[in-house]
């Protein structure tokens, strides 16, 4: 809590638990990130997901 949103408004509530799935072109789950299990922020979900997708794309 206390972190600012993009609009500059303070967040005064806890983040909801989030699970992110990255799915490959073949429809199979390639990677899973869980805020509950790994204690990562929404921003970290985005960064990790992007890294996996870029890796899959060969970038």
pTM for the model:
0.66
Comparing CA positions, the residue from 33, 13, 9, 36 lying closest to residue 23 is 33
Q: What is the dihedral of CA 35, 14, 43, 3, to 10 degrees?
A: -150
**C-alpha distances out from residue 4 to 8, 13, 51, Å:** 5, 11, 24
Task: Tell me the per-residue pLDDT of 2-28, one tens digit each, with 9 for 90 and over.
Answer: 455 556 677 676 667 889 999 999 999
Residue 1, pLDDT > 50, answer no
- Pull the structure tokens for residue 27: 């429809």
């Amino acid at each position: 809590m206390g972190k600012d949103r993009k609009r500059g408004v303070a967040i005064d509530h806890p983040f909801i638990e989030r699970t992110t799935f990255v799915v490959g072109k073949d429809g199979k789950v390639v990677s899973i990130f869980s805020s509950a299990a790994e204690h990562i922020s929404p921003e970290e979900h985005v960064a990790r997901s992007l890294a996996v997708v870029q890796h899959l794309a060969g970038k």
